């Protein structure tokens, strides 16, 4: 959805808050962790994702590509593998190339796994709950 087609700040925030949407920043750093762990196939999938169109920004959004968000379409097993690598790196005290901690990485990837598996409370993949 482009700004011309009616992206609003409300709709932009709603999309970016979904469990299957991550920032360029998070994806680029996750890709570096995957490469360091020898997970080249997953790192390549992230690289490919970063070449797709990001979530459309609303009119007045002044930031550039560094603030892009992307809708992910990885299967839950890939998400689990990424979560495992990120969690292990955080536990080992790994930092980003900029020297920042990995705080929030495991949580973001766990949310993605939960979203795709249908266990996240807002996931569209969630099984219908019985009425009782």
Residues near 59 by beta carbon (within 8 Å), at least 6 away in sequence: 3, 7
Q: How far is CA 36 from CA 43, 53, 69, 101, 108, in A?
A: 10, 26, 23, 16, 19
Average of pLDDT values for 49-64? 90
Q: Is residue 127 part of a domain?
A: no
Q: Is the pLDDT of residue 132 over 90?
A: no
Two tokens, residue 17: 């808050």
pLDDT tens-digit map of 104-131: 999 999 999 998 888 887 787 776 554 4
Phi, psi of 76, deg, nearest 5 = -55, -35
pLDDT tens-digit map of 33-52: 999 999 999 999 999 999 99
Q: Is residue 125 part of a domain?
A: no
As for how many domains the chain has, the answer is 1
For a pLDDT cut of 70, what percent of the chain falls above it? 90
Neighbours of 30 (CB within 10 A): 24
Q: Is residue 37 part of a domain?
A: yes
Q: Is residue 128 part of a domain?
A: no
User: Which structural domain, as residue segments, surrounds residue 38?
Assistant: 3-117
């Amino acid at each position: 959805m482009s700004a011309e087609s009616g992206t609003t700040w409300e709709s932009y925030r709603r999309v970016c808050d979904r469990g299957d949407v991550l920032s360029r920043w998070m994806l680029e750093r996750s890709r570096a962790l995957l490469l360091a762990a020898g997970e080249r196939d997953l790192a390549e999938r992230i690289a490919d994702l970063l070449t797709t169109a990001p979530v459309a920004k609303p009119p007045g959004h002044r930031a550039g590509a560094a603030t892009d968000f992307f809708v992910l379409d990885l299967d839950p097993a890939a998400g689990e593998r990424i979560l495992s690598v990120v969690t292990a790196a955080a536990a080992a005290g790994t930092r980003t190339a900029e020297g920042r901690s990995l705080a929030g990485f495991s949580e973001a990837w766990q949310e993605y796994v939960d979203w795709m598996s249908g266990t996240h409370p807002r996931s569209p993949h969630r099984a219908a709950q019985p009425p009782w």
